[in-house]
Chains A and B, each alone.
Chain A
Amino acid sequence: MTIKVLYFASLKELLGRSEELVNHEGLNTVEDVWKLVSAGHDVSQQVLYSINQEYASADSLIKAGDEVAFFPPVTGG
């Protein structure tokens, strides 16, 4: 089973992709997912998380079929 992972703004550029499907076996939290997908990249900036389009914290639990997103602090308006 998989989760859909999205990246936005500077994180999308840093990781070189906007979305991907990730096998979530062995992954429990959003932070676990982030460690896996960002491996090998030097991420110095603050990263925000969301699950199914709601803000989440690093220890929020994920399940199959979730849409998880990673992005920098928002700068709209």
Chain B
Amino acid sequence: MIKITESAFDPWHELSVFQREMRRDGEFGACANFVGTMRDNNEGDQVGGMTLEHYPGMTEKHLEKIVLEAKQTWNLLETLVIHRVGDLLPNDPIVLVAVWSAHRKDSFEACRFIMEVLKSKAPFWKKETLGEKNRWVEKNTSGY
């Protein structure tokens, strides 16, 4: 499942609800997940808030493509990707990627893959609020 949401979400609640409702009890032996959270500082500056813009349509299309590629590469049972857009405050979760599989290798590797490709390909842009000023984040740091 892929969700883009303008409202704040609780990744741990989403995980537990999804895992219950996916009806895979007894099949999965592994769940790997990644939660990205907004920090209150960046490049030495205090950051008071953030606006996340995206390209509706292309975002969903690319997330689906990334998840499909992961499913073709590893043996996965279920995947869950939630990404926040709109106005965020420090400590707000930004992204959740969760992957279920029979064995840990598939979950670990696919979760990492989905997250890294999302970072480099999915059309989202962050704009930070620094006091009275705003600043676009120019690029993502490498995860490897």
Contact = CB atoms under 8 A, between A and B. Distances in A.
Nearest to B53: A9
Interface stretch (A27-35, A58-66, A67-75): A67-75
A68 to B, nearest CB: 12
Interface string B12-50: 000000000000000000000000100000000000000
Contacts of B139: 73, 75
Contact of A77 (B53, B58, B119, B136): B119
Interface in A44-59: 45, 50, 53-55
A74 B136 contact: no
B54 interface: yes
A5 B120 CA distance: 22
Given A75-B139, A77-B124, A8 B55 contact: yes
Interface string B90-103: 00001100000000
Interface residues of B, number: 27
A76 B118 contact: yes
Contacts of A77: 36, 83, 94-95, 115, 118-119, 122, 124, 140
Q: Which of B52, B95, B127, B137 has the most CB of A within 10 A?
A: B137
Contacts of B58: 50, 53, 69
Interface of A: 6, 8-10, 45, 50, 53-55, 69, 71-77
30 contacts: A6-B55, A8-B53, A9-B53, A9-B136, A10-B125, A50-B123, A53-B61, A69-B55, A69-B58, A71-B55, A73-B138, A73-B139, A74-B119, A74-B120, A74-B122, A75-B124, A75-B125, A75-B126, A75-B137, A75-B138, A75-B139, A75-B140, A76-B54, A76-B119, A76-B123, A76-B126, A77-B36, A77-B95, A77-B115, A77-B118
Given A9-B136, A45-B138, 9 more contacts: A8-B53, A8-B123, A9-B125, A50-B123, A71-B125, A72-B136, A76-B140, A77-B36, A77-B95
